[in-house]
Amino acid sequence: MGYEAHAAEGGGAGLKVLLVEDDFDLAFCIEEYLALEGFRVTKVGSALAFYREIDGGEFDVAILDLSLPDQDGLVLARYLRQNTRVRVVMLTARSSMDDRRMGYEAGAEIYLVKPVDLQELAEAVAKLGGRQADPAGPAWRLKRDEWVLIAPGGEEVNLTSKEFEMLRLLGAAGGEVVGRKELLGALEYPHSQHGLRAIESLVYRLRKKAAEAVPGEILPLKTSHGLGYAFTAPLAPG
């Protein structure tokens, strides 16, 4: 089940929080409590909605469930660690030591197990709110004759023709944003909302495909809200 909702701004800490939780009732309770504590909360119920929000806005802390309907929350945590300064609180029913280890390795700084005391959660968010981290940008390569993306560790991600063409355009831009109109034309998508949605779906598939093919590595494909897309790490022809 996916949904998106935005809470009104409150006073207090004023930290911007992205809540990723597919249990609607739990998400509502958390949102209401954090809003009363003065946090500005945006809640989403899927990985797809997460990527839209994180690429289109600025957040201080993300609260991540791990068991999402379309992608594991560990993948989202790695994306945040490698591409943003957002701090991560994991909130999950997974309670084993192995689960905790994987959570911390993925980028969590605080790992909480459901059911959680909401005051404890609010304190965890406040604790992380002022910290910052530096994103990394390792080198990737495109293998032009085989439609393959090669990760920094040498792993290969098989691409469709449109996926390859989009990455080729972004790589040629050297980290600069490639506009949506240019992408629509190059990918032969209609210049309409349907075409823009097709690009969004293409970006989502690329991220998910890379995450599945290269465990522990996140595709540094960033959205510039309302403008276009950029590949934020070096992308060289292979």
pLDDT for the residue 6: 39
Query: How many whole angstroms separate alpha carbon 102 and alpha carbon 218?
Result: 15
Phi and psi of 97, rounded to 5°? -65, -35
pLDDT for the residue 130: 56
Beta bridge partners of 229: 178, 223
Specify the length of the chain in residues: 238
- How confident is the model over 178-193, as pLDDT tens digits? 899 989 988 989 999 9
Q: Which of 135, 139, 159 is nearest to 235 (CA)?
A: 139
Architecture of domain 4-128: 3-Layer(aba) Sandwich (3.40)
Q: Which of 103, 67, 88, 214 is nearest to 233 (CA)?
A: 214
- How confident is the model over 7-53, as pLDDT tens digits? 334 333 588 999 999 999 999 999 999 998 899 999 999 999 999 99
Q: How confident is the model at residue 199 (pLDDT cuts 50, 70, 90)?
A: very high
pLDDT for the residue 138: 56
For the chain, the straight-line distance linking the first and the last C-alpha, in angstroms and rounded, comes to: 40
Alpha carbon distances (Å) from 167 to 39, 48, 52, 66, 149: 37, 19, 19, 28, 9
Instruction: Let me know: does 207 contact 54? Beta carbons within 8 Å.
Output: no
**Fold match between domain 4-128 and domain 140-237:** no
Indicate the domain borders of the chain. 4-128, 140-237
Instruction: Let me know: does 157 contact 148? Beta carbons within 8 Å.
Output: yes
pTM beyond cutoff 0.95: no
Whether the pLDDT of residue 97 is over 80: the answer is no
Q: Taking residues 208-223, report their average pLDDT.
A: 85
Q: Which CATH class is domain 140-237?
A: mainly alpha
- How confident is the model over 113-142, as pLDDT tens digits? 899 899 989 988 988 875 433 344 457 888
